[in-house]
Amino acid sequence: MAGFAALGADRSECGRREKWRFRTRLEVLHEEILGGVATGAMLEAAKSLLLVLSALFPIVDPLGGSPFFLALTGEYAPEARKALSWRIAMNSFALLVGAYFVGTYILAFFGISLPVVQVGGGLIVVATGWTLLRQKDDEKHDVHRTVQPQDTFRHAFYPLTMPLTVGPGSISVAVTLGANAAHSHALHPLTIVAALVGCVLIALSIFLCYGFADRLARFLGATAMTVIVQLSSFLLVCIGVQITWNGMKALVESLTLHIG
């Protein structure tokens, strides 16, 4: 009897050990899964941040847009120009975030397609670039140097924020990135934070480039800035034509598919 009791005790002890080992394996596996999920989320967030910056920054191009900003605000006081550049940066941040997260739903609600946005926005870009290209020196001095920030803010959104800074191309890319992120990984919290950080960095670059555009002009000189503004205005017209053509091409292709 004592032998059977000892055997039963050994089996019970072995069963407890096996349960403990199984539980330990489950805990290790659970920790590995959580660690893998966290690492995967961090990688996706890093990819989203790099994607937002690499896709939007060249299109927004705050450094290239600073000559336009200076041409339109060349006679403003430095304080007014900095206040205006801060407002433009905030407006640009709001536009990019809105386009990234809810742009697809807004366009779908109004029944507007991205090609239509490209056509309309491209025409505005063409008109703005053409106006800057034909602007004469005597017309540039019509604006008084003592313009106050509250007067300047009247034009902070249009045309300085849209379409000069965040145009139809930037909005289209932001809408596309947001739709792709929502479709790929359902906007993980880390992905949302990464997109917000990317938009903050772009807005900060806009403020720095626009706020110190006058120092850049002094460094380059009046003649160089005039050449840059004229060339940039011509390029702006070309960019607007290209954006308009992209939208029209997409509309014609969709029409051809429907007819076919």
Is residue 36 in some structural domain? no
pLDDT digits (tens, 9 = 90+) for 138-177: 444 444 443 444 566 777 888 889 888 998 888 888 887 8
* Of 34 and 192, the one with more pLDDT: 192
Is residue 11 in some structural domain? no
pLDDT digits (tens, 9 = 90+) for 54-76: 888 878 888 878 888 888 887 78
* Of 187 and 102, the one with more pLDDT: 102
228 pLDDT band, cuts 50/70/90, is confident
pLDDT of residue 203: 96
Alpha carbons 104 and 172: distance in angstroms, whole number: 10
Q: Which long-range contacts (CB under 8 A, 24 or more apart) does 213-220 make?
A: 213/66, 213/67, 213/69, 213/70, 213/81, 213/85, 214/70, 214/78, 214/81, 216/66, 216/70, 217/70
- Percentage of residues in the chain having pLDDT higher than 70: 74
Is residue 200 in some structural domain? yes
pLDDT of residue 16: 58
pLDDT of residue 20: 56
Q: Which long-range contacts (CB under 8 A, 24 or more apart) does 37-45 make?
A: 41/188, 41/190, 41/191, 42/190, 44/185, 44/188, 44/190, 44/191, 45/188, 45/190, 45/191, 45/193, 45/194
Q: Which two tokens stand for residue 4?
A: 């059977």
pTM over 0.75: no
Q: Total structural domains in the chain?
A: 1
Is residue 245 in some structural domain? yes
pLDDT digits (tens, 9 = 90+) for 183-224: 665 567 888 899 999 999 999 999 999 998 888 778 877 777
Is residue 86 in some structural domain? yes
Q: What is the mean pLDDT of the chain?
A: 76
DSSP code of residue 33:
H
Alpha carbons 237 and 93: distance in angstroms, whole number: 25
What distances in angstroms separate CA 140 from CA 77, 114, 200, one per listed residue?
14, 35, 32
Mean pLDDT of 27-53: 67
Is the bond leading into 62 cis (omega within 30 degrees of zero)? no
Is residue 31 in some structural domain? no
Domain span holding position 216: 47-259
Mean pLDDT of 105-119: 83
pLDDT of residue 206: 95
Mean pLDDT of 234-247: 83
Is residue 23 in some structural domain? no
* Of 237 and 93, the one with more pLDDT: 93
